[in-house]
Amino acid sequence: MDSFTSRNHINIEPIPITIRFEAPSQLRCWLFELVKSLGFSIKAFRGIICQYSYQSADPNNWDENSFMESEIMFLLENCQWNFIYDIIEATFEKLPQQYRQPFSDSINNFFISNGYGWKLEDGQILSRGDDTFEQSIKSAVECVKDTNPDAFSEIMESIVDISKRPEPDVTGAVQHSMAALECFCRSIFGNEKKTLGELINSYRDEIPKPLDTVMEKLWGFSSEQGRHLNEGKTPAFEEAELTVHICAALITYFKKKN
Range of the domain at 191: 131-257
The mean pLDDT value for 85-97 works out to 97
Same domain, 77 and 110: yes
Residue 56 lies in a domain: yes
The chain-wide mean pLDDT, for the chain, equals 91
Same domain, 143 and 103: no
Give whole-number Cα distances, 7 to 1, 10, 100, 146, in Å. Answer: 10, 8, 19, 34
| Phi, psi (degrees; rounded to nearest 5) at 3 | -80, 165
- 222 closest CA partner among 201, 194, 191, 243: 243
Same domain, 145 and 167: yes
Same domain, 78 and 106: yes
Q: Can you give the length of the chain in residues?
A: 258
Same domain, 155 and 111: no
Position 15 confidence tier, pLDDT thresholds 50, 70, 90 = confident
C-alpha 66: how far from its chain's center? 35
Same domain, 158 and 204: yes
Instruction: Say yes or no to pLDDT of 230 above 80.
Output: no
Same domain, 251 and 171: yes
pTM of the model: 0.75
Give whole-number Cα distances, 9 to 100, 104, 137, 152, 177, in Å. Answer: 20, 17, 24, 32, 34
CB 77 within 8 A of CB 30: no
Q: How many domains does the chain have?
A: 2
Q: Say if residue 247 is exposed, middle or buried (CB neighbours under 10 Å; 0-12, 13-18, 19+).
A: buried
The last residue of a domain, from among 120, 149, 172: 120
Give whole-number Cα distances, 148 to 100, 171, 197, in Å. Answer: 31, 23, 20
| Phi, psi (degrees; rounded to nearest 5) at 15 | -105, 160
Same domain, 106 and 177: no
Instruction: State pLDDT tens for residues 160-208.
Output: 999 998 889 998 999 999 999 999 999 999 988 899 999 999 988 888 8
Q: Is the pLDDT higher at 220 or at 233?
A: 220
Residue 51 lies in a domain: yes
The last residue of a domain, from among 120, 142, 176: 120
Same domain, 151 and 204: yes
CB 177 within 8 A of CB 247: yes
The last residue of a domain, from among 79, 97, 120: 120
Q: Give the per-residue pLDDT at 236.
A: 87
Same domain, 215 and 136: yes
Residue 126 lies in a domain: no
